Structure 1
Amino acid sequence: MSEALAVRTDAAELAPPLHPNPSPRELGALAVSCLQLEVETYPKPGLVSHIDNGSHGDMDAALLHRSARALEPFFVSLAEAGAAGAGMDRLRAIGVAAEAVMLKATSGVNTHRGAIFGLGLLCAAAGAAREESLGLTVRRRYGRAIAEGPVPLRSHGAEARRNFGASGARGEAAAGFPTVYQTGAPALIDGLKRSGGDFEAARVQAIFALIARVTDTNLLHRGAAAGLVFAQSEARGFLQSGGVGAADWRDEAARIHAAFVARRLSPGGSADLLAFSLFVHALEHGDPAFEAEPISCRPHDFSRLESLL
Structure 2
Amino acid sequence: MSALIARQAQPSLAERLADLAVQALIDEADLSPKPGLVDRRGNGAHNDLHLGLMHASAHALWPAFKAMAQAAQLFGEVGQPLREALGQLGREGETEMLRVTAGVNTHRGAIWALGLLSAAAMLRPDAAPGQVATTAATLARLSDPAAPHNPDSHGARVCRTYGVLGAREQAQHGFPAVLGHGLPQLLASRRAGAGEQNARLDALLAIMSDLTDTCVLHRAGLQGLGRMQQGARAVLDAGGAASLDGRRQLRELDRDMLALNASPGGAADLLAATLFLDRLTPAASAPTGSN
Q: Please tell me the TM-score bracket, short chain as reference.
A: 0.7 to 0.9
Q: Point out where structure 1 has 5 or more consecutive residues left out of the alignment.
A: 1-16, 295-309
2:70 is the counterpart of 1:73: no
CA distance in 1, matches of 2:263, 2:286: 40
Report deviation, 1:131.
6.0
Q: Which has more radius of gyration?
A: 2
2:172 is the counterpart of 1:182: no
In structure 2, do the counterparts of structure 1 residues 147 and 181 end up closer, same or farther at CA, with 3 Å as the change threshold?
A: farther
**2:7 counterpart residue number:** none
2:267 is the counterpart of 1:264: no
Q: 2:13 touches 2:283 (CA, 8 Å); kept in 1? A: no
2:97 is the counterpart of 1:102: yes
The alignment's TM-score, normalised by the length of structure 2, stands at 0.86
Q: In the alignment, which of 31, 37, 41 is matched to residue 41 of structure 1?
A: 31
Q: 1:192 touches 1:199 (CA, 8 Å); kept in 2? A: yes
Q: How many residues align?
A: 270
Deviations 1:231-257 (A, max 9, x none): 111111111111134234334323321
Where 1:87 maps in the other structure, the secondary structure is: helix
**1:220 counterpart residue number:** 217
Q: 2:125 touches 2:284 (CA, 8 Å); kept in 1? A: no
The alignment's TM-score, normalised by the length of structure 1, stands at 0.81
Where 2:143 maps in the other structure, the secondary structure is: helix
Structure 1 counterpart of 2:59, one-letter code: R
Deviations 1:25-52 (A, max 9, x none): 0100110000000011111110000111
CA distance in 2, matches of 1:243, 1:152: 39
Structure 2 counterpart of 1:119, one-letter code: L
Report deviation, 1:92.
0.8
Report deviation, 1:146.
6.7
Deviations 1:168-209 (A, max 9, x none): 111111112122111111111122133x25111011001111
Structure 2 counterpart of 1:59, one-letter code: L
Query: Could you tell which deviates more after superposition, 143-152 or 220-229?
Result: 143-152
CA distance in 2, matches of 1:78, 1:281: 20
Within a 5 Å distance, the mapping from 1:114-193 to structure 2 comes to 114-130=109-125, 132=127, 133-145=131-143, 151-193=149-191
Structure 2 counterpart of 1:143, one-letter code: R
Q: In the alignment, which of 79, 82, 94 is matched to residue 72 of structure 2?
A: 82
**2:108 counterpart residue number:** 113
Identity of counterpart residues, as a percentage?
A: 38
Q: Point out where structure 2 has 5 or more consecutive residues left out of the alignment.
A: 1-9, 76-80
Q: In the alignment, which of 226, 230, 233 is matched to residue 233 of structure 1?
A: 230
Deviations 1:48-82 (A, max 9, x none): 00111100110100000000000001000011111
Report deviation, 1:262.
1.4
In structure 2, do the counterparts of structure 1 residues 290 and 169 end up closer, same or farther at CA, with 3 Å as the change threshold?
A: closer
